[in-house]
């Protein structure tokens, strides 16, 4: 996603949490900082954040075919993936619909990602998730008052050494970036056709961005005179353009206490790779490097009605699930405090 889309996803997730009403303390933490802390949603893509690892394709989980040892470890059964995703996320239904492309042979093929050190999307998401939990534990007094439960040792830490709500908010927005990118199919597809400047990745992001109010561009959002509720209204206005709607209840992750954010992101990336294989079916756009050809946006989505409808469909799935996943992870973090 581009900067505007990342900001929209995070803001829309706060509104979703507010509408549900189950974690009012978290909403009270994030909502007042929507305007300024939103920069966190695009910091990971900032060129001048390179010491922290923010470079193009620096947080990816690009999956390709695998022919090494223990191949059974790298086969994901369709039933397992769909069951883990659940019915609340649109991805499972989408993958079921395209069983003509994602057939039994496809699901029986071993696929694996091998991102370089420091560029592993699941690792980076896990690190920020743990960081955000620790920041809440060390939060200033108003954070302590809002958190469920009681942090016994916090009284021994001077106020000036505690994390502020502003700091915590910007890191929650940063976390949203990595969660959202697990839904970006080009971040999860090893084929050259998914590289940023090969005619598909950048063009997909531009297409999505067109349906989001210009308020969410960097210069406008951080300087807007609008209050938080007005910003939320602008965010919700994109729902109809993406043909998305949300249930009142934000689902909990399957697995209960054993749920793991690292495994969740790997799961989402695996699903996004499957979606990428629907966009550019491997019978036409092979996985093997020697046989690969490019898949321009115009060829895939503008040349016929099938492509135009497919673009609408994947946009609906990705935008809906990106917002929902961010809300689910944020809610899970807050709900750990009892």
Is residue 323 predicted with pLDDT exceeding 90? yes
Cα–Cα dist 328/111, whole Å:
27
pLDDT in tens, 300-320: 999 999 999 999 999 999 999
CATH, range 3-335? 1.10.575
> What is the pTM assigned to this prediction?
0.96
Q: Which residues does 158 contact at the CB level (< 8 Å), separation at least 6?
A: none
Mean of pLDDT over the chain: 94
Cα–Cα–Cα angle for 126, 127, 129, rounded to 5 degrees: 65
Burial call 256-272: b when 16+ CB within 10 Å, e when fewer: eeeeebeebbbbbbbbb
The per-residue pLDDT for 52 is: 61
Q: Which residues does 210 contact at the CB level (< 8 Å), separation at least 6?
A: none
Is residue 116 predicted with pLDDT exceeding 70? yes
Nearest residue to 316 (alpha-carbon basis) of 94, 98, 102, 82: 94
Cα–Cα dist 55/12, whole Å:
25
pLDDT in tens, 42-81: 998 887 776 665 555 678 999 999 999 999 999 999 999 9
- The dihedral of CA 105, 108, 109, 114: what is its sign? positive
Give the single-character DSSP code of 197: T
What residues does each domain of the chain span? 3-335
Spatial contact of 188 and 61, defined as CB atoms under 8 Å apart: yes
Token pair belonging to 174: 């940063």
Give the single-character DSSP code of 64: E
Confidence of residue 10 (pLDDT cuts 50, 70, 90): very high
Token pair belonging to 89: 């996320």
DSSP of 200-243, one letter per residue? SHHHHHHHHHTTS-GGGSHHHHTT----HHHHHHHHHTTHHHHT
């Amino acid at each position: 996603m581009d900067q505007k889309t990342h900001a929209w996803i995070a803001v829309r997730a706060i509104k979703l949490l507010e509408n549900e009403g189950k974690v009012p303390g978290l909403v009270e933490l994030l909502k007042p900082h929507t305007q300024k802390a939103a920069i966190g949603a695009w910091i990971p893509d900032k060129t001048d954040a390179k010491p922290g690892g923010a470079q193009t394709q620096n947080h990816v989980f690009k999956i390709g075919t695998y022919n090494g040892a223990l191949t059974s470890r790298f086969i994901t059964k369709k039933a397992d993936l769909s069951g883990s995703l659940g019915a609340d996320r649109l991805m499972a239904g989408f993958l079921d619909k395209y069983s003509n492309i994602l057939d039994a042979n496809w699901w029986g093929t071993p696929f694996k990602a091998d991102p370089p050190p420091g560029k592993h999307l699941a690792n980076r998401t896990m690190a920020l998730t743990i960081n955000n939990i620790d920041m809440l534990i060390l939060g200033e007094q108003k954070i302590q008052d809002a958190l469920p439960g009681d942090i016994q040792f916090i009284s021994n830490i001077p106020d000036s050494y505690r994390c502020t709500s502003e700091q915590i908010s910007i890191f929650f927005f940063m976390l949203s970036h990595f969660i959202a990118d697990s839904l970006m199919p080009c971040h999860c597809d090893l084929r050259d056709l998914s590289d940023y400047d090969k005619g598909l990745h950048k063009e997909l992001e531009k297409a999505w961005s067109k349906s989001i109010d210009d308020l969410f561009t960097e210069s406008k959002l951080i300087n807007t005179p609008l209050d938080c509720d007005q910003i939320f209204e602008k965010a919700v206005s994109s729902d109809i353009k993406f043909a998305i709607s949300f249930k009142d209840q934000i689902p909990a992750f399957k697995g209960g206490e054993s749920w793991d954010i690292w495994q969740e992101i790997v799961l989402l990336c695996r699903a996004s790779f499957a979606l990428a294989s629907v966009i550019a079916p491997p019978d036409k756009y092979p996985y093997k490097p020697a046989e690969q050809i490019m898949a321009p946006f115009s060829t895939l989505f503008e040349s016929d009605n099938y492509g135009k409808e497919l673009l609408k469909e994947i946009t609906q799935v990705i935008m809906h699930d990106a917002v929902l996943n961010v809300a689910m992870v944020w809610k899970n973090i807050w709900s750990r405090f009892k």
